[in-house]
Structures are given as structure tokens and as C-alpha cells.
């Protein structure tokens, strides 16, 4: 089944996405529910995907592989980004969770920003090293300046390594 527009099922106390429409040509919003899993949800979302404020959601398993625009998983209980989309066409949000690293983050993020504020991050490991935008990572276990500095150094070393290989 396919929907040619947006699908908004937010704020309905839903506990499962089983039986959900599989293709959404617009945006999908399942925020403010009681979801423990995204399994059974859409396998394709052309625009934005919102799963904010699902307090029992600990993983992104069941997410589509590709989101056409912005992806938001704020204010959940995520301990890992495993299962997150491989590609996000816009900004990526995972604020206010229980993340300690960014392992499992999308391999490609085409937006201007990655937002990972108010977690328990001690590392940005897992973020794509070719991301050109800004990373907003305040209010974590390590100070934002430290996290950004280590990430910038990793990006620099990655570029240098690619140059050596291509010679």
C-alpha cells in the first residue's frame, strides 16, 4: 500500500507500527506515541521522518534505508543508532537520548547539520567523515569543543589518507 502525501499518526498512544503503510510519498510522523520499535513501519519515506518523544524507543531498527529529507529521533531512549537510515537527504536529529557514541549513524547525511545534543556522548565515532556541515553536540558527557575537535582531526586524517591512497 502507498500513500501519495503525508502520513501523520502522532499522539495516538500507538505501541506498534505493524500493519503500517509501507510507502509514504510525503512525510511520516509517528511521534508522541508508545513505540518500542519501528519494525513494521514504512520501508520508504520520500520526505521527512519523525519518531520523536517515544520514551520506550531504544533502537532505530525497522527504519527505512533512505529518507529523502530530514530525520528526527529526539527525546526517546535511544542507546544506539543501529538501524538508522543509511542515507538522509536533509539534517539528522537525535537530541535528548542516551547515546554514548554515534556508531550506527547514517553513512551519508546531505543536510547542513547533525544535532546530537543532550546525550551522554564521549565520542562522535560513527559520524560520516565526509560530512561538510556542522555538528551540534552541546550538553554531553564531554564538552562540545572536545567532541568537535576530535571529529575535525578524524576528518583531516581521513582526507590525508585518501590523498595518499590515490597517488
Res. 164: pLDDT tops 90: no
Strand spans (E) along 28-139: 28-29, 44-45, 49-50, 66-67, 71-72, 87-88, 92-93, 108-109, 113-115, 134-136
d(CA 54, CA 32): 6
pLDDT band at 6 (very low <50, low <70, confident <90, very high): very high
* pTM (predicted TM-score): 0.94
pLDDT confidence of residue 120? 96
Per DSSP, the three-state class of 135 is: strand
Q: How many CA atoms lie within 13 A of 123 on its CB side?
A: 9
d(CA 151, CA 123): 8
Residue whose C-alpha is closest to residue 30's, from 2, 46, 7: 7
d(CA 159, CA 87): 21
Residue whose C-alpha is closest to residue 57's, from 117, 98, 86: 98
pLDDT band at 132 (very low <50, low <70, confident <90, very high): very high
Amino acid at each position: 500500500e502507498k500513500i501519495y502525501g503525508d502520513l501523520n499518526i502522532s499522539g495516538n498512544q500507538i505501541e506498534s507500527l505493524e500493519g503500517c503503510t509501507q510507502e509514504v510519498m510525503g512525510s511520516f510522523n509517528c511521534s508522541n506515541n508508545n513505540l518500542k520499535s519501528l519494525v513494521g513501519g514504512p520501508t520508504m519515506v520520500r520526505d521527512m521522518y519523525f519518531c520523536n518523544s517515544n520514551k520506550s524507543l531504544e533502537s532505530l531498527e525497522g527504519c527505512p534505508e533512505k529518507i529523502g529529507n530530514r530525520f528526527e529521533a529526539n527525546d526517546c531512549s535511544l542507546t544506539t543508532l543501529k538501524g538508522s537510515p543509511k542515507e538522509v537527504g536533509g539534517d539528522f536529529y537525535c537530541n535528548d537520548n542516551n547515546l554514548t557514541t554515534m556508531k550506527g549513524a547514517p553513512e551519508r547525511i546531505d543536510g547542513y547539520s547533525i544535532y546530537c545534543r543532550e546525550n551522554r556522548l564521549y565520542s562522535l565515532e560513527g559520524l560520516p567523515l565526509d560530512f561538510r556541515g556542522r555538528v551540534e553536540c552541546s550538553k554531553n558527557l564531554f564538552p562540545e569543543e572536545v567532541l568537535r575537535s576530535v571529529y575535525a582531526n578524524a576528518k583531516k586524517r581521513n582526507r590525508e589518507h585518501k590523498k595518499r591512497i590515490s597517488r
